[in-house]
Amino acid sequence: MAPVSIKRVLISESVDPCCKTILQENGIDVTERQNMNQEELIVQIKDYDGLVVRSATKVTADIIYAASNLKIIGRAGTGVDNVDVDVATKKGIIVMNTPNGNTISAAELTCALVINLSRHVPQAVMSMKAENWDRKKFMGAELYGKTLGIIGLGRIGKEVASRMQSFAMRTIGYDPITPPEVSASWGVEQMSLEELWPQCDYITVHTPLMPSTTGLLNDASFAKCKRGVKVVNCARGGIIDEAALLRALESGQCGGAGLDVFVEEPPKDWTLIKHPNVISCPHLGASTREAQARCGQDIALQIVDMVKGKALVGAVNAQVLACTFSPDSQQWIRLGKAMGRVLKACCSSKQPFAHVHITTQGECLKKSAGFLSSAAVVGLLTEGPEIVPNLVNALPLAEETGITIKRSHSDEAKMACMVEVSVNGSIYKAVGSVQAGVPVLLELNGSVFWQPVPLSGNLLFFKATGSPQLLSSVTGILATAGVAMERFSASSAPGDDQWYCVGIPSQLADLSTLKSLVKEALQLAM
């Protein structure tokens, strides 16, 4: 991957000082401005290439559209639901988080809430502070032998399971992604939610907030649980339906809740929090010195590694870039973009495109179809006033404009990339490769070049019927226009018409001067 130029980063929240230090040590200018409202951030963000946030800053569409130079949004923590990832992707902005930074801290707080729910510790503490000695009021229950249902078996869910197994709890779970055999290896039996609800004495949720998880615990699911079930949420507010939870608490269907996160933070309605069987915290899942240092360090190092072209870690919307860090990948990206531009010029009068088919050839390119597809689409798309196509947003932009993308791979011996574009029923095709570190065009619309065409500098392509006088006639027209011919590539094709390519030091001012000699002509500055 080509290094992304990040010169100025804005940190809009309290992040561990090591974040600023690491960025500055690597030549990045850092500004810290906390407690900005949306309007203030909109004014400030246009001056920065990068933005680092935690959870309080809501990076909305308005902020992203105001960020004319922004290339990366870094969330120092797990999850990115405070960032409009769809809009960021459309603008070609990388969004990353630190998925491992607060895993231990969030797992430990979850376990603490489970333990406190079982023994009513916070309520007993408050009673003692009120000078009451009431042992019978706070009768608890052992965790030994109880069943803990874990919804979401990622990093945090796994850590919670291993800790609560130390209390001899039975751990069961649900996760649509983690294979059952994987979770079984660390002691969690997977099952459907319908099977899980009635078995649990305690339920804890560890999923991202998305349409499929919003209100996951609701009136219907509480009704399927054991009476008196206790629930914990240290993930995201909204996974547990707060109104349904309050109803379950008041009816006794839910025996207690440990909440660290809420739909509104801070809450405006404190009714749920004031319920005597609720213990709550002001979103403290990542609030440990260790987690903050880890998140601050991780996000800074991830940005630095990306800037230096070493690796891309924690990106949630730029998976296509994961394979772009090999030494040769940048030249193949250049090839894909260049072939896209050549094909776009070939059919400029016949747009829009309908279909794009990218085929990679050769074992070494087996994992490169993703970024080569994006690169080719970047070359095909037109820059807009607010949207500049890049590898991050190319495929979403193509989909938005109605272009269908197909990718395939062939295990042929030679390494090459073929791009085919369908426009109004016509097919345009380019085949290229990288030779000696240089992107070259091998074939254009059925014409196979005798010598590979280096895709660099100013290139003049024209289609004409071959004749002994063609080269000298074209050379004469170029000389009349004061343009020298630096290199010339001819081709062979099944019919009489072939494509030719001329390397020139500057573009021809008027392509119509070639009209008497050629059937089609186009020129590009690579």
What confidence tier does 469 reach under pLDDT thresholds 50, 70, 90? confident
As a whole number, mean pLDDT of residues 283-294 equals 93
CA distance 53 to 249: 35
Residue of 236, 294, 334, 357 marked active site: 236
Considering 265, 290, 399, 486, which one is annotated as catalytic? 265
What the chain holds in terms of domains, given with CATH numbers, is 8-100+290-311 (3.40.50.720), 102-280 (3.40.50.720), 326-443 (3.30.1330.90), 457-525 (3.30.70.260)
So what's the pLDDT on residue 348? 72
Active site residue 236: yes
142 tagged catalytic: no
Q: For residue 162, count CB atoms less than 10 angstroms from its CB and return exposed for 0-12, middle for 13-18, buried for 19 or more.
A: middle
Write down the residue that tokens 């990832």 correspond to.
85
Angle, alpha carbons 116-117-118 (nearest 5°): 90
* DSSP label of 175: -
Cα(515)–Cα(507) distance, integer angstroms: 16
Q: 203-207, 278-282, 495-499: lowest mean pLDDT where?
A: 495-499
In the predicted model, is pLDDT for residue 426 greater than 80? Answer: yes
Catalytic residue chosen out of the listed positions 54, 75, 120, 283: 283
Cα–Cα distance for residue pair 105/286, rounded to 1 Å: 6
- Sheet architecture: strand order including 491-492: 404-410, 355-361, 416-423, 426-435, 438-444, 447-454, 491-492
| pLDDT of amino acid 383 | 67
What integer pLDDT is reported at residue 282 of this predicted model? 96
Residue 149 CA to residue 151 CA, distance in Å, equals 6
Contacts of 265 (CB under 8 A, 6+ apart): 237, 282, 283
pLDDT at 311: 85
DSSP conformational letter for 387: -
Percent pLDDT > 70 in the chain is 98
pLDDT per position as a tens digit, 131-149: 999 999 999 999 999 999 9
120 catalytic per annotation: no
CA within 13 Å, CB half, 273: 17
What per-residue confidence (pLDDT) applies to 385?
Answer: 59
Instruction: Give 228-277 pLDDT, tens digit per residue.
Output: 999 999 999 999 999 999 999 999 999 999 999 999 999 999 999 999 99
Q: What is the pLDDT of residues 347-401, one digit of tens each?
A: 876 667 789 999 999 988 888 888 899 999 999 987 665 678 888 999 888 888 8
